[in-house]
């Protein structure tokens, strides 16, 4: 089972940069997109509905903002959107699909970098999300929560750690949340099951020469329930062509 997650920073912009042509060549079973920045009625063209894929969208109420999507080669048993609170549901930040005993999620966790208020909202979102993830662990299902978490975990996951520790996405509180989710709640960072080394990033600032110098952040994840932890076979970050300020993360599971 091959799963790709990608923050496309505008699905229409990514399409113009060749994202769907690339996607079709990957033969992925599920492609999880974040920050689609479009309403579903704006995506009626065949360009956004590749042959051989079932597509599902969950849009933000605000036009041109946020939004998540799933592209699935196999028609899911069920698709659900939202988690029941305003910041998640009105901003289009969660969509999930069931395939047998496995649920695959596309999550766009908020950024808190624009203001102290947004950072506080992000922390509240994270608290609510962790409570939901604890409920998931009690169910007799396997989960793959993919997406842009807007949060690094460890010092190895960001090039300039010391200078960013007070910035949203790298604060001690956010990294502790990630630590608790993985080490206390039992979720598994699928990428780190097979890739241990440094300088592995999925997002780069558009300022300066961040991308050219690989001054990045690893903020895109696939977090899985323990039953899938030993099923991770291969992980890669695609950087040969750029579709947005994020790079797609592909993970192959022995399922």
Active site (catalytic) residues: 148
Q: What are the distances in angstroms from CA 60 to CA 11, 94, 157, 179? A: 13, 10, 29, 29
Is 59:42 a contact under the CB 8 Å cutoff?
Answer: no
Residue 190 neighbours by CB distance under 10 Å: 25
C-alpha neighbours within 13 Å on the C-beta side of residue 68: 30
Question: Is residue 247 classed exposed, middle or buried when 0-12, 13-18 and 19+ CB atoms within 10 A define those classes?
Answer: buried
**CA pair distance 94, 74, nearest whole angstrom:** 20
Question: Is residue 207 classed exposed, middle or buried when 0-12, 13-18 and 19+ CB atoms within 10 A define those classes?
Answer: exposed
């Amino acid at each position: 089972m091959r799963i790709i997650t990608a923050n496309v920073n505008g699905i229409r912009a990514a399409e113009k940069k060749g994202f769907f042509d690339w996607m079709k060549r990957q033969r992925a079973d599920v492609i999880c997109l974040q920050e689609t920045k479009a309403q579903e009625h704006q995506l009626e063209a065949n360009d956004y509905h590749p042959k051989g894929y079932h597509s599902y969208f969950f849009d933000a109420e605000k036009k041109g903002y946020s939004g998540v999507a799933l592209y699935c080669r196999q028609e899911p048993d069920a698709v659900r959107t939202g988690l029941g609170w305003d910041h998640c549901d009105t901003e289009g930040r969660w969509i999930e699909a069931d395939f047998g005993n496995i649920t695959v999620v596309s999550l766009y966790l908020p950024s808190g970098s624009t203001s102290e208020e947004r950072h506080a909202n992000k922390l509240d979102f994270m608290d609510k999300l962790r409570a939901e993830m604890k409920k998931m662990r009690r169910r007799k299902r396997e989960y793959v929560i993919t997406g842009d978490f807007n949060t690094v975990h460890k010092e190895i996951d960001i090039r300039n750690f010391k200078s960013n520790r007070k910035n949203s996405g790298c604060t001690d509180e956010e990294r502790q949340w990630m630590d608790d989710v993985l080490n206390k709640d039992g979720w598994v960072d699928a990428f780190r099951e097979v890739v241990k080394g440094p300088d592995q990033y999925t997002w780069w600032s558009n300022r300066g020469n961040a991308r050219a110098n690989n001054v990045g952040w690893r903020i895109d994840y696939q977090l899985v329930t323990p039953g899938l932890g030993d099923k991770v076979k291969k992980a890669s970050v695609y950087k040969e062509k750029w579709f947005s300020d994020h790079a797609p993360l592909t993970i192959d599971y022995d399922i």
